[in-house]
Amino acid sequence: MVAIYDEILKKCQLYFKNDGVAPSLEYYEKALTTIDNSENQAKYISFLKELLEYCRKNHDFENEAVVLRALGRTHSVFKHHYESLNYHREALKIQRKLGRKLEIAESLELIAESLEFNEKYDECIKTYKNAADMFHELGKLRKERDLRKEISRIEAFSRDIIQDEYYLKKFRLNID
């Protein structure tokens, strides 16, 4: 297992050395699905932070936003949802400055996912709605529909939680 992770990092570093940030990130994004919550967390984060520093030093804002998203997604894989949320928000700021609507919508979706894991359901729903509206504007109607389903699911879940809390309080009052 460790050999697989080392191989992924070696290929990413090789792409970075020979071809630059974009190909390295493209390979990393494909390999991200094979990464799990392993002991190699620090290596992945360190590699991405190295790329981030390179992008910042060279004022490469487009790739900086992509690296920030990769850091967010990686932290999510490692179940570090608070860190994930922060990196996604940083990426969104850059993408807004660049005016990239598709990337903004995708970042909003990633932020909403992180908000859900952080149990911030109201903010999550609002963020999903913003993303769905943007996908609608972009003509990505299937993506919009998928997000509207997520909104409905979270709204229902949120209502159930509120109802459960109400009954729990009522039950506790009756016992006391």
Q: 169 falls in which pLDDT band (50, 70, 90)? A: low
CA angle centred on 29, ends 138 and 153, rounded to 5°: 55
* Owner of token pair 């993506």: 143
Mean pLDDT of 21-49: 80
- Tokens in use for 131? 């993303």
Q: Tally the domains of the chain.
A: 1
The rounded radius of gyration (Å) of the Cα atoms in the chain is: 19
- In three-state secondary structure terms, 139 is coil
What crossing angle do the helices spanning 141-175 and 101-117 adopt, rounded to 10°? 20
Q: Each residue of 132-144: pLDDT tens digit?
A: 999 999 999 999 9
- What range defines the domain where residue 35 resides? 2-175
CATH code, domain carrying 49: 1.25.40.10
Specify the pTM.
Answer: 0.80
Instruction: Give 86-100 pLDDT, tens digit per residue.
Output: 999 999 999 999 999
